[in-house]
Amino acid sequence: MSLKGPSNKNLMPIRYPSIKPKNIFLIDGIGAFVTAISLLIIYQFLNIYFLVPENVLLILIAIAILFSLYSFICFLFIKDNWKPFLFIISLANLLYCLLTILFMVLYFQSITLLAILYFSIEIIIIFALVSIELKTVKKRK
């Protein structure tokens, strides 16, 4: 009779699927495109429920379109030496999140709870993507 407890030899560690760096650019590009479309829909049709200043929405839409183009171009044309490009988009995504947080703070009194919820979810998703991007840059030396 053993007092050691259950054996861990049958337990498999949780492994997350490895994503190719090229595909991270594709995921990032699609995400930025979805963000741009979502913000455009809010701008055109739903801002009565969000009350985000139009200039703020236009700035965020323009940035999302630029990020989407950058990521799609990287996906299509970067074969080797992808690290600096992935690092650039991960930092750009972080800056986008910080800008969004700044806008939320500056316009906190005028935007609705729905806007705060939307931007908070968007920030969480982008932070998760940035985490994957930075881990990929660090892991693949």
Domain locations in the chain as residue ranges: 21-139
Contact indicator for 82, 22 with CB cutoff of 8 Å: yes
Find the distance separating the first CA and the last CA of the chain, reported in whole Å: 47
Residue 83: C-alpha distances to residues 31, 47, 109, 110, 126 (Å): 19, 38, 41, 40, 19
Maximum pairwise Cα distance, the chain: 72
**CA 135 to mean position of chain CA atoms:** 14
pLDDT at 14 over 60: no
pTM of the predicted model over 0.85: yes
Taking only the tens place, the pLDDT of each residue in 53-86 is 999 999 999 999 999 999 999 999 999 999 999 9
Q: C-alpha angle with apex 27: 24 to 32, nearest 5 degrees?
A: 125
Question: Residues 134, 90: contact at Cβ < 8 Å?
Answer: yes
Whether residue 141 has pLDDT greater than 70: no
